[in-house]
Structure 1
Amino acid sequence: MAKVGYIMATSQYDKLEEDRKWMNDFGCVRIVEENDEDERNRPLWKQLMVALQRGDELVISKFSNALRGSRELATFLELCRVKVIRIVSIHDQIDSRNELFPETRPSDVLEMMGALPEEVLPLRKSAEHVVNLQEKMIVSLPPVSSAKMQKLDREKTVINLYVAGHPIDEVWRASGFRSRSSVFRILNKHGIKLNRGNHSGPIKRKGISDNPQDKE
């Protein structure tokens, strides 16, 4: 059983330090923080959903901070039900075990669910605005060749998909590489811990070269 915290730490979120302290005081062994540029895909949130085990406790700042809409809320609640995950939402004052926030009523929970889409929208717009500004600032940097940019994008795709918990075969197909060893080469290059079952290195595929110089 482990307590884990999650915060969508966008640049406009002003309760970051307060939430960190609350989670630490509550005994969270780790606090996962996502930033503006990952607000849309949330790779760390996806990785966390895969990593949670039966009986764990998940502390979030607020439902509208952790989730992007009502559909994600339904999927999240079902996952927590199946894995018997305790959910604690600090600012919604909701505890699925009914130990904290005794003053919270069922009507408060329903109000949170109804207001979720309205509360999520400003967060998404704020994060998108920050990312757009960052992208516009890139024009002042030295130009990068299209081949190099394509290579960087491919490496980023491999890392994000693997960290998000996708199987190696899915990561390989999405990357466009000719051999699976190229996927492991990139993960090793960026220091990503290999954690798919018993695999601690490339899985050699019969008939396909394992040479790092494979054409990509």
Structure 2
Amino acid sequence: MAKVGYIFKANSYDAFDADKEWMLQYGCVQVIEESVKHETLRPKWKQLMSNLERGDELVVSKFSNAVRGLRELAALIELCRIKVVRIISIHDKIDTCNELFADTTPAEVLMMFGALPEEVAVLRKSSDKIMRLQQSINTSILTKKSLSKAERDKKIVDMYNDGYSIRDIWKESGVRSKSTVYGILNKYRVQLNRKPGRVPGLRK
């Protein structure tokens, strides 16, 4: 018999810290945190469902935080009924043993069922939006890096065509070695018209 907590770490879920503290104070031996990037498959939730044993207690922040619809909620309730697992939902104020939230009425439970699809949709929409923004930022960073590399290559080509020595180009561009300079010149099919260190028109 074990008390286990579960929280889906949605980006818009502000009660995460308070809920985790509630679970620990209640005596949960483990609080499972599901990352938003695993929202589609919820591997930790599935593992938790598989590991529940008779007499365990499952504590969730809110049913809309734990499941993704009424079908999953029904499956959860049926599984816990079969395994005799107590379910506690903190913010829904529901305890299947009717001990912690004895004042919760049947009408409030029905309201929870009715509001669940909308709450799940809002939670997922918010998380999806933030993930898209993060991906956009990462793409922007990669684009800037690519642009910076292209600008560096152009500078190397321009310096060579302007008569700078390979040594000077190497130092000015910040590349790792002289061979990198030659590699970039070859990449852009620059005709090598002088020996290393020699500037066209000058004699040693």
Q: Using the alignment, how far apart are the partners of 2:129 and 2:37 within structure 1? A: 10
Amino acid at match of 1:124: R
Bigger shift: residues 102-111 or 130-139: 130-139
- Kept in 2, the 8 Å contact 1:94–1:101? The answer is yes
1:137 CA displacement: 3.0
Match of 1:56 in 2: 56
Match of 2:121 in 1: 121
- SS of structure 2 residue aligned to 1:100: coil
- Kept in 2, the 8 Å contact 1:56–1:84? The answer is yes
Match of 2:74 in 1: 74
Q: Deviations over 1:23-79 (max 9, x none)?
A: 011000000011221122211111111111111000000001111011111111111
Normalising by structure 2, we get a TM-score of: 0.67
Q: Using the alignment, how far apart are the partners of 1:75 and 1:102 within structure 2? A: 24
Map 1:156-167 onto structure 2 (within 5 A).
Answer: none
Q: Using the alignment, how far apart are the partners of 1:112 and 1:19 within structure 2? A: 18
Bigger shift: residues 117-126 or 129-138: 129-138
Q: Deviations over 1:80-134 (max 9, x none)?
A: 1111110000000000011111110111111111111011111000111122122
Q: Using the alignment, how far apart are the partners of 1:127 and 1:25 within structure 2? A: 28
Match of 1:98 in 2: 98
- Kept in 2, the 8 Å contact 1:36–1:127? The answer is yes
Q: Using the alignment, how far apart are the partners of 2:81 and 2:24 within structure 1? A: 25
Q: Using the alignment, how far apart are the partners of 2:127 and 2:119 within structure 1? A: 13
- Which ranges of structure 2 fall in alignment gaps of 5 or more residues? 147-204
Amino acid at match of 1:2: A
Which 4+ runs in 1 deviate beyond 6 A?
none
Bigger shift: residues 14-23 or 129-138: 129-138
Amino acid at match of 2:101: F
Q: Using the alignment, how far apart are the partners of 2:19 and 2:7 within structure 1? A: 8
Amino acid at match of 1:28: C
- SS of structure 2 residue aligned to 1:31: strand
- SS of structure 2 residue aligned to 1:25: helix
Q: Does 1:31 align with 2:31?
A: yes
Amino acid at match of 2:10: T
Amino acid at match of 1:56: D
1:11 CA displacement: 1.9
**Structure number with larger C-alpha Rg:** 2
1:138 CA displacement: 3.2
1:6 CA displacement: 0.4
- SS of structure 1 residue aligned to 2:87: strand
Matched pairs, number: 143
- SS of structure 2 residue aligned to 1:81: helix
Normalising by structure 1, we get a TM-score of: 0.63
Match of 2:3 in 1: 3
Q: Using the alignment, how far apart are the partners of 1:87 and 1:47 within structure 2? A: 17
Match of 1:108 in 2: 108
Amino acid at match of 2:82: V
Higher fraction of helix:
2
Match of 2:132 in 1: 132
Q: Using the alignment, how far apart are the partners of 1:127 and 1:36 within structure 2? A: 7
Q: Using the alignment, how far apart are the partners of 2:11 and 2:117 within structure 1? A: 20
